[in-house]
């Protein structure tokens, strides 16, 4: 069910939502959170699709603010999606024009679920300091996506400088399966020292930088980045040891190959993680991701890694 409401207010939208439930007998499942999506005009449907997918695991109310031109006459158009058009959630889309093009707590407060955690998600560009924005201040978790920003590495630097507990980035979430497999390798090699980590992948992938920084910081070694424009995402991580290289390589989109000295190659299921899966993972936890917090701040700003990270972010990397 989709209902359009033009030139309206959030108070009228909330009343209409209650009326639709009563008229159509829509059963509201136990909503576990409110997901607030801050989108740009023309880029909201992909985010809504991912949120609907995640709602089957995390029933929620989804509020989508779509920012239109601030130069137009101030007005608010609304759209309500319920039932089959909203997954296991209810979707409220707010199209803001003029002064309402800027999402604020005042604008959405009437639509928030009482006593439920709030998660804010910026699918593309995000404020200079997400944690200090009007919506960010009331959110328990703040999800950004530096990989989809206009300038991914500038955004990564920005997140590093403005980090607040509760922040996370989908560029970090995309490498979860890589981190799990490599952590298992750490357990296997025990005290064997790693001299250098080499991370390879796409030229504009912040996930490549985050992976290299995490590994180098955890293993106390140097990091090297090898990127090429024709590559997609991250496809190879090598740990250089005195006993030989340990390599985790994903040549395609589904299967990785782990190569270790003196052992047969091991094939591992490592499908590329799409937006739906990454968002669902982030909604599973509402406490701060302390590992990400350390990587994005102290590790990323480490003097020992500064030159390699700066070269990677500035595009001055080996290829």
Measured distance CA(182)–CA(246) in Å, rounded: 10
- Per-residue confidence (pLDDT) for residue 319, from 0 to 100: 35
Does residue 186 contact residue 217 with C-beta atoms inside 8 Å?
Answer: no
- Per-residue confidence (pLDDT) for residue 318, from 0 to 100: 47
- Per-residue confidence (pLDDT) for residue 50, from 0 to 100: 94
Contacts of 102 (CB under 8 A, 6+ apart): 67, 70, 96
pLDDT averaged over consecutive 10-residue blocks of the chain (319 residues)?
93 90 64 92 90 90 95 96 73 96 95 94 93 96 94 90 96 96 88 92 91 93 89 92 95 94 94 95 93 94 69 58
Does residue 257 contact residue 185 with C-beta atoms inside 8 Å?
Answer: no
Within 93-169, where are the H helices?
105-108, 134-138, 152-162
Q: Give the residues across from 61 on adjacent strands.
A: 34, 90
Measured distance CA(205)–CA(54) in Å, rounded: 24
- Per-residue confidence (pLDDT) for residue 32, from 0 to 100: 85
The CB density around residue 267, as the number of other CB atoms within 10 Å, is 9
- Per-residue confidence (pLDDT) for residue 31, from 0 to 100: 77
- From residue 229, give the alpha-carbon distance in Å to each of 120, 154, 253: 31, 18, 17
Does residue 156 contact residue 243 with C-beta atoms inside 8 Å?
Answer: no
- Per-residue confidence (pLDDT) for residue 263, from 0 to 100: 92
The CB density around residue 157, as the number of other CB atoms within 10 Å, is 18
- Per-residue confidence (pLDDT) for residue 314, from 0 to 100: 65
- Per-residue confidence (pLDDT) for residue 246, from 0 to 100: 96
The pairing of beta strand 244-249 with beta strand 167-169: unpaired
Does residue 282 contact residue 170 with C-beta atoms inside 8 Å?
Answer: yes
């Amino acid at each position: 069910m989709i209902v359009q409401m033009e030139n309206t207010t959030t108070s009228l939208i909330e009343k209409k939502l209650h009326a639709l439930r009563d008229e159509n007998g829509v059963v509201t499942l136990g909503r576990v959170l409110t997901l607030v999506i801050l989108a740009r005009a023309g880029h909201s449907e992909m985010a809504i699709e991912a949120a609907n997918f995640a709602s089957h695991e995390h029933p929620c109310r989804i509020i989508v603010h779509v920012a239109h031109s601030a130069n137009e006459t101030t007005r608010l158009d609304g759209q309500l999606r319920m039932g089959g058009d909203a997954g296991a959630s209810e979707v409220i889309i707010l199209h803001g024009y003029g002064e309402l093009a800027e999402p604020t707590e005042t604008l959405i407060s009437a639509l928030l679920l009482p006593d439920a955690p709030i998660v804010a998600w910026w699918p593309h560009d995000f404020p200079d300091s997400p944690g200090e924005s009007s919506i960010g201040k009331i959110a328990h978790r703040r999800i950004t996506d530096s990989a989809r920003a206009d300038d991914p590495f500038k955004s990564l630097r920005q997140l590093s400088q403005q980090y607040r507990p509760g922040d996370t980035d989908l560029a970090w979430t995309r490498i979860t399966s890589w981190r799990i497999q490599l952590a298992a390798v750490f357990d296997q090699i025990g005290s064997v020292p790693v001299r250098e980590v080499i991370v390879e992948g796409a030229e504009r992938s912040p996930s490549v930088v985050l992976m290299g920084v995490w590994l180098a910081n955890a293993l106390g070694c140097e990091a090297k980045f090898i990127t090429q424009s024709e590559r997609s995402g991250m496809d190879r991580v090598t740990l250089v040891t005195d006993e030989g290289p340990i390599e985790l390589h994903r040549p395609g989109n589904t299967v990785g190959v782990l190569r270790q000295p003196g052992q047969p190659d091991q094939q591992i299921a490592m499908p590329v993680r799409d937006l739906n899966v990454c968002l669902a993972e982030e909604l599973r936890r509402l406490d701060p991701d302390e590992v990400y917090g350390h990587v994005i701040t102290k590790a990323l700003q480490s003097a020992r890694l500064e030159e390699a990270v700066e070269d990677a972010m500035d595009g001055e990397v080996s290829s």
